[in-house]
């Protein structure tokens, strides 16, 4: 007779996030998560079918605390706040970013957030193809900006190296020198403002 289940989805998600944080996405496996939980790999299959299910649990758990209720404001401010909330939730676990797109259709917390953003866009007059493009554009910016923020930071060594290339690439060097003075928050919010400005156009 099988032993009763004792691990909760939250515990499985926390172990998955621990592996992702420490070792990265490439190292994530059923075995690695089982070791994190102090159990055998085969025992883990009593709780989840495969690595995909672990990934989805981790994404859903990470975003489960995101407030999906937009503030009382104009539609573009509402969108900005909703997007910032996801960025804040992911900040501590940036290795999860690629998984948000892979599992966007199976994570209730992400589906709720998407529905909320779509509701704001709809009230603002976006319908049909226009709404599809607006939603995809927002997601593209959010995911891409978070990736750059954590893997290609303006304050990182890559920017320093480009700032020294003035002889060959003067405009790149000048831009990189300026880039080093821009904070992560300012970069994200100015970029989001640019995206929203584009969406405002008829």
Q: Give the span between the Cα atoms of 15 and 153, in whole angstroms.
A: 27
Closest CA to 14 of 68, 60, 66: 60
Whole-number pLDDT of residue 200: 82
Q: Which two tokens mark 76?
A: 């573009």
Q: Which two tokens mark 110?
A: 């992400």
Q: Give residues with Cβ within 8 angstroms of 143, minimum separation 6.
A: 97, 100, 101
- Divide the 202 residues of the chain into consecutive groups of 10 and give the mean pLDDT of each group: 67 97 96 96 94 96 96 97 96 92 92 98 96 96 92 90 95 96 95 94 70
CB 51 within 8 A of CB 29: yes
Whole-number pLDDT of residue 202: 63
């Amino acid at each position: 007779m099988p032993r009763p289940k004792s691990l909760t989805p939250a515990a499985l998600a926390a172990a998955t996030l621990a592996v992702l944080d420490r070792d990265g996405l490439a190292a994530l496996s059923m075995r690695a998560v089982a070791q994190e939980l102090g159990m055998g790999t085969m025992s883990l299959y009593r709780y989840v079918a495969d690595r995909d299910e672990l990934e989805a649990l981790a994404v859903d758990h990470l975003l489960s605390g995101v407030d999906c209720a937009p503030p009382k404001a104009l539609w573009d401010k509402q969108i900005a706040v909703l997007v910032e909330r996801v960025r804040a939730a992911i900040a501590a676990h940036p290795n999860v970013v690629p998984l948000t797109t892979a599992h966007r259709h199976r994570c209730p917390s992400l589906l709720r957030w998407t529905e909320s953003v779509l509701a704001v866009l709809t009230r603002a007059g976006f319908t049909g193809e226009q709404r599809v493009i607006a939603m995809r554009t927002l997601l593209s910016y959010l995911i891409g900006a978070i990736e750059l923020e954590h893997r290609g930071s303006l304050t990182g060594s890559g920017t320093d190296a480009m700032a020294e290339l003035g002889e060959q690439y003067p405009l790149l060097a000048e831009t990189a020198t300026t880039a080093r003075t821009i904070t992560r928050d300012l970069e994200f919010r100015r970029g989001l403002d640019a995206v929203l400005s584009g969406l405002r156009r008829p």
